[in-house]
A and B are shown apart, each in its own frame.
Chain A
Amino acid sequence: SQQGEEDPQALSIQEGENATMNCSYKTSINNLQWYRQNSGRGLVHLILIRSNEREKHSGRLRVTLDTSKKSSSLLITASRAADTASYFCAPMDSNYQLIWGAGTKLIIKP
């Protein structure tokens, strides 16, 4: 399978703590994108990291990419209740196709 694999499948933390989600993939990639999905809702694009980048920041989000290990991580700092959602990494392969995993379900406890 070429799909991205997120780890862990579920994560529950206290509000204010940092949340780290990991992703592994198998194919060579053009870039890697992270998306958020609130329950029963649409997919929201969070951040894109190119294959020649190692780290990228956007607000409270920090994404890393290690192409040698075919892995990426998403760090959400100072988590809030509103961050409760499922998070998907979607590597984009050389054909510009997004490859989806099952996601990490993040629960932020108040």
Chain B
Amino acid sequence: EPEVTQTPSHQVTQMGQEVILRCVPISNHLYFYWYRQILGQKVEFLVSFYNNEISEKSEIFDDQFSVERPDGSNFTLKIRSTKLEDSAMYFCASSDIGLLGGYEQYFGPGTRLTVT
């Protein structure tokens, strides 16, 4: 069964460093998302991406964040200068319209980002 994959599973970085989190969405999906979940807290939407551009973004997704689909398979989230409060689990998700227009989102296993 197709699945969303994410690499790395765990990333440790120093404050101020740039990180790139990578995702490979399900191959025939057209909509891509990034979410984050700070330990013990709820899932927070960061950004959605469709047709090679951002379609929605949250207040969290400030100028420090960017997304890119550099080729036909990868979808990346870059954090330019990490802060301690960026430590969280980052989830990538992808969706298609689905059989009845449900836009079910399928999530990857997540990348745990630890900023020290």
Chain A contacts to B: CB under 8 angstroms: 3, 30-31, 33, 35, 40-45, 48, 50, 88, 90, 92, 95-98, 100-103
Chain B facing A: main interface SS: strand
Contact B102 A48 (CB under 8 A): yes
Chain A facing B: main interface SS: strand
Q: How far is the CB of A49 from chain B (nearest CB, A)?
A: 9
- Specify which of B48, B103, B109, B110 lies most central, judged by the most chain A CB atoms within 10 Å of its CB: B103
Contact B42 A100 (CB under 8 A): yes
Cα distance A20–B43 in the bound complex, in angstroms: 21
Cα distance A25–B15 in the bound complex, in angstroms: 37
Known: A41-B110, A102-B41. 12 other contacts (CB 8 A): A3-B42, A33-B105, A35-B107, A42-B109, A48-B102, A48-B104, A50-B100, A92-B103, A96-B103, A100-B42, A100-B43, A103-B42
Given contacts A42-B110, A43-B107, contact A88 B102 (CB under 8 A): no
Given contacts A95-B56, A97-B48, A97-B56, contact A45 B42 (CB under 8 A): no
- For chain B, the count of residues having a C-beta within 8 Å of the partner chain is 23
> B41 contacts which chain A residues (CB < 8 A)?
102
